[in-house]
């Protein structure tokens, strides 16, 4: 059953519930999305971008998403601010790849570990189940045990690793590939 456009879920934070609204991404979310992503660009190996993205670049990126179809963008909103987002994008540009997507999720660093990434992914995957999607893939820069655990808990299975595929912060990083089947 498809999820409604906007839902409210309460991930656990210790014994305190943290309410968030999961909804389709909107243009007004782009500054927060840019801030969240750039944190990881500057501080982590989880993305292989090495320079921060600009708001202008995100404005060019945003029209690729819609309320229907394979390319989706969902945000977690708390008190009027986006605190995380999940996307599905084309895995490759060639036509035969159309039924496959790449998925990703990013959460504000101050909100990591509170279940927000999981509920974002649950929303995204539920929406994709209603579309002509055969496989979803996630590339995970290794090591990243929390991301591996999240993906595996949501039905992704490891299908391969690109050894030392990227260089960032003066060292090489491998990329593990996880696959989720839609059938």
DSSP 8-state secondary structure symbol assigned to residue 98: T
The 10s digit of each residue's pLDDT in 133-177 is 999 999 999 999 999 999 999 999 999 999 999 999 999 999 999
Q: What Å distances lie between residue 55 and 7, 83, 167, CA to CA?
A: 27, 17, 25
Q: Which residues contact 101 (CB under 8 A, 6 or more apart)?
A: 70, 71, 88, 89, 90, 91, 128, 133, 135, 136, 137
Question: Would you state the structure tokens that stand for residue 130, as one six-digit string?
Answer: 């209603």
Cβ atoms < 10 Å from Cβ of 38: 17
Residue 18 is predicted with a pLDDT of 57
Question: Would you state the structure tokens that stand for residue 73, as one six-digit string?
Answer: 């963008």
Q: What Å distances lie between residue 128 and 3, 71, 75, CA to CA?
A: 11, 9, 15
Helix (H, G, I), strand (E, B), or coil: what is residue 16?
Answer: strand
The 10s digit of each residue's pLDDT in 35-85 is 999 999 999 999 999 999 999 999 999 999 999 999 999 999 998 899 999
List of domains in the chain: 6-135 (3.40.630.30)
Q: Decide: 6 and 74 in contact? Cβ < 8 Å.
A: no
Q: Decide: 156 and 136 in contact? Cβ < 8 Å.
A: yes
Residue 183 is predicted with a pLDDT of 79
User: Taking 90 as the threshold, does the pLDDT of residue 120 lie above it?
Assistant: yes
Maximum alpha-carbon separation in the chain = 48
């Amino acid at each position: 059953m498809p999820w409604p456009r906007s839902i409210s879920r309460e991930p656990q934070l210790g014994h305190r519930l943290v309410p968030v609204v999961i909804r389709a991404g909107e243009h007004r979310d782009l500054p927060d999305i840019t801030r969240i992503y750039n944190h990881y660009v500057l501080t982590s190996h989880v993305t292989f971008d090495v320079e921060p993205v600009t708001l202008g670049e995100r404005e060019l990126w945003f029209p690729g998403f819609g309320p229907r179809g394979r390319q989706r963008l969902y945000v977690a909103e708390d008190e009027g601010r986006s605190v995380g987002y999940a996307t599905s994008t084309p895995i490759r540009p060639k036509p035969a790849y159309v039924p496959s997507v790449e998925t990703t999720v990013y959460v504000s660093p101050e909100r990591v570990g509170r279940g927000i990434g999981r509920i974002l992914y649950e929303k995204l995957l539920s929406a994709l189940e209603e579309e002509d999607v055969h496989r979803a893939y996630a590339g995970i820069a290794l090591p990243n045990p929390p991301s591996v655990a999240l993906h595996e808990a949501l039905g992704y299975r490891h299908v391969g690793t690109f050894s030392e595929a990227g260089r960032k912060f003066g060292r090489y990083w491998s990329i593990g590939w996880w696959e989720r089947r839609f059938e």
